[in-house]
Structure 1
Amino acid sequence: MRNTLRAAMFFLFAVLILGACGNSNKDVGKGPDEPLQKNNTLVVKEDVEGGTLNSGSGYGFNKFDLEIEVDGQDVVDAQYAVAKSHSASYENKLADLKLEGTEAFNTLDGLFMNIMLTKDTSKKDAIDKIMKWFGLDTYTKFDLEVDFSDGTKLDIDDRK
């Protein structure tokens, strides 16, 4: 009786294991060279609707235009737009940089990820974060225009 019980338990265990390892014929390739899963990519809802870094939603905005002057001299000029042209330019005269395209995107990415502007960011916080990023203590002109993905805008035009 004991051996019969063991044999029955072993048989039940084997059936469960083989059943769990089975294949339900979903996404099975047609030949030996085709992968079992045809599409193994993760699709995020915003990606399907166009909400990636390429459309601005990755940063939360579609347009970023910054100009900082110190002692009347243009020191920083950064432009980022994805709505129509998907372009970027970045000029920092303090660091003697003038970048366009991919190089500008890469540099601005560090700025955007560090300052993390949102539609709820106050003008003072935006100025403080950006000035800290560039290592500037003062300015004579601070002009920032940001168009957020939800249609709101942040416009700062401050002169000292």
Structure 2
Amino acid sequence: MGKFFKISGFLFFAALLLGACGNLGKNADEPNRDEATLIHEDEKEGGSLDTGDGYGFDKFDLEIDVDGKDTVEANYEMERDLEAEYKNKLAGLDLKEDEAMVKLDEMFIDIMFTKDTSQEQAIEKLMTWFGLDTYTKFDLEVHFDDGTKLDFEDKK
């Protein structure tokens, strides 16, 4: 019975000691201290719209030609660093990096591609978004965070 009290007492003492040592930092009592950042599994590789940290894909490459001439090019790639480019010759735009991301963000949010988007849906959504009626070449490649890829190419 004495052994039981000794072990119980030791475990109780250890629990109190560990509990008391949990927050001994210099700024432990300050209300504005930095909180730990929790990373959701989906946010590690580019994120998704569900987690609020991305678009659900880490590569988007679009080229639309009208009358055989480059008309729209939109590129977004998120590996280690963000690479973005947006060219719309109809609107006279040739944007890179942050400026391009403003336009690309508008497009990505409005169009909302998923891995189940069909070629017809993709073409319809993008042609409508850019205000185009026809094209001679449509080339779209999207790499989703889960490894799925959309690769559509159509020529008229």
Q: Which residue of 2 aligns with 1:147?
A: 143
8 Å Cα contact 2:115-2:148 kept in structure 1: yes
Query: How far apart are the structure 1 equivalents of 2:134 and 2:64?
Result: 10
State the 1:45 CA deviation.
Answer: 1.1
Q: Which residue of 2 aligns with 1:38?
A: 33
Structure 1 29/116 Cα, relative in aligned 2: closer, same or farther at 3 Å? same
State the 1:36 CA deviation.
Answer: 3.3
Q: Which residue of 1 aligns with 2:69?
A: 73
Q: Which runs of 4+ in 1 moved over 6 A?
A: none
Q: Which one-letter code corresponds to 1:72 in the other structure?
A: G
The answer to whether the aligner puts 1:60 opposite 2:56 as a matched pair is yes
Q: Secondary structure at the match of 1:120?
A: coil
**Match of residue 88, structure 2, among 77, 89, 92:** 92
Q: Which residue of 1 aligns with 2:44?
A: 49
Q: Aligned-pair RMSD on alpha carbons?
A: 2.7
The TM-score normalised by the length of structure 1 is 0.71
Q: Which one-letter code corresponds to 1:45 in the other structure?
A: H
Structure 1 119/77 Cα, relative in aligned 2: closer, same or farther at 3 Å? same
Query: How far apart are the structure 2 equivalents of 1:48 and 1:149?
Result: 9
Query: How far apart are the structure 1 equivalents of 2:125 and 2:134?
Result: 13
Query: How far apart are the structure 2 equivalents of 1:149 and 1:155?
Result: 15
Q: Secondary structure at the match of 1:107?
A: helix
Q: Which residue of 2 aligns with 1:110?
A: 106
Unaligned runs of 5+ in 1: 1-24
The TM-score normalised by the length of structure 2 is 0.73
Q: Which has the larger radius of gyration?
A: 1
Identity %: 52
State the 1:129 CA deviation.
Answer: 0.7
Query: How far apart are the structure 2 equivalents of 1:131 and 1:120?
Result: 18
